[in-house]
Amino acid sequence: MGRYHAQKLAARSDCKLVAVADVDRARAEALAGAHGCPAFTDYRALLGVADAAVISVPTERHREVAGACLDAGLHVLVEKPLAVDLDESRDLIGLARKNNVVLQVGHVERYNAAFRALAVRMHRPLFIEAERLSGFKLRGADVDVVLDLMIHDLDLALALAKGEVTGVSACGFRVLTRDIDIANARIEFSDGCVANLSASRVSQAPVRKLRVFQADVYVSADLQAGKLRYVRQAGGAIEEIEESHSGDALAAQADAFVSAVLKAAPIPVDGEGGRRALELALEVGRLVRDRLKRFG
């Protein structure tokens, strides 16, 4: 992911990619060479060079690396999940506040053009259904499927629902790893909205589907293809409208980060938003593990 972030930022005219850090020297030099900047194997070499940093390291190192950058006064975009637990996430939020710098969390689906169009139309969702399937990849396998994949849709549900979480139930299974590879969660909100979310990292074909229902309309979104289908009643007949929304979500996320740094623009997913998604994801994971202990 760090390579993709570097590409998006290097292509911009309002900032400069000043260095790349990676513990793998060959990988660091290859990426830095492609963008004409220095390469380091120790991220601390960047602290006196950069104004901002994108952190794309294993989750267990987010507190160390993002924390050092924030403490040095750098603005930070850190990949999701924000941290491994709530204590570490609070530490990072506290450091950002103390040093008055931007802390943005990389929930990239918030910048998906189809989701943005859907979110504008759906003002009071009653039911949210999401399905996120992927083939197994070593990238992301340092965390379970809830923190790797489902957390995207947990964040989207939190963004769409107008109430607070009042109830969570979940189940899941181990398939290829010693941790959760398939999970399903039901989230209830204080305004009556219910979200049913499924995630798998052991599927053959990738799927990113989101369906949202409210009193006057139903919308089905293919977030991968950028397609929306609205269904509503109009004059006693059922009306269907299809839309396509193209865009580069990662580039849009980079734009939001740079705008937050340069113009103090609002951050769609700040540290507190990342903490909220993490808290819900950890609760789903806890419930799944409790169930696995009981039923094997």
CATH class belonging to 109-246+279-295 = alpha beta
Q: Which two tokens stand for residue 155?
A: 């964040």
What percentage of residues in the chain have a pLDDT greater than 70? 98
φ, ψ of residue 258 to 5 degrees: the values are: -65, -40
Q: Does domain 2-106+253-270 have CATH number 3.30.160.620?
A: no
3-class DSSP assignment, residue 274: helix
pLDDT 10s digits, 92-140: 999 999 999 999 999 999 999 999 999 999 999 999 999 999 988 765 5
What 3-state DSSP class applies to 72? coil
- The domain limits of the chain are 2-106+253-270, 109-246+279-295
pLDDT at 176: 85
- Quote the tokens at residue 34: 């492609």
pLDDT at 141 over 80: no
Rounded CA gap, 70 and 201, in Å?
Answer: 32
Residue, of 168 and 296, whose pLDDT is higher: 168
- Output the CA–CA distances (angstroms, integers) from residue 175 to 90, 152, 254, in the order listed: 32, 21, 35
224 pLDDT more than 60: yes
**How many C-beta atoms surround the C-beta of residue 249 within 10 A?**
18
